Amino acid sequence: MEKEKSINVLGEALVSCCQDPVTGFFRDGSCNTCEEDVGSHTVCIAISQSFLEYSRFRGNDLSTPVPEHNFPGLKPGDSWCLCALRWLEAKDNNMAPRVHLQSTHKKALDIIPLALLKEYAADLN
């Protein structure tokens, strides 16, 4: 698997999303992607309780630990590389979490317009 260049949606070097718990398609802490990443795990989100509940309702329980996959479960305040389509779905249902633009891979722009991501930015001054 060959990684896409590690560039964020702002055209800068991609910043790590989360090391504890380690996230990303490659489990390298960054929202890096490649052709094999069909889910496009490219959007670095700030986890909220409401998003965890929404995700569980949609069939993706991110809060329950899965020890056999070394996954401790997420809690509010954590960051996580989310699939771009799942973020867009959450947005359409008024449940979109905040986004760390510096840690969101530019490949997310194939699915989500930058202006929309900026509306949910957690890291713009």
CATH classification of the domain holding 51: 3.30.56.110
> What pLDDT was estimated at residue 124?
78
Question: pLDDT above 90 covers what percent of the chain?
Answer: 90
- pLDDT surpassing 90 at residue 3: no
Confidence of residue 17 (pLDDT cuts 50, 70, 90): very high
The whole domain housing 24 covers: 1-125
Count of structural domains, the chain: 1
Instruction: Spell out the residues 6+ positions from residue 71 whose beta carbon is closer than 8 angstroms to its own.
Output: 21, 65
DSSP, collapsed to helix, strand or coil, labels residue 41 as: strand
Q: Which of 3, 40, 11, 2 is nearest to 106 (CA)?
A: 11
For the chain, the average pLDDT equals: 95
For the segment 60-100, what is each residue's pLDDT rounded down to a tens digit? 999 999 999 888 999 999 999 999 999 999 999 999 999 99
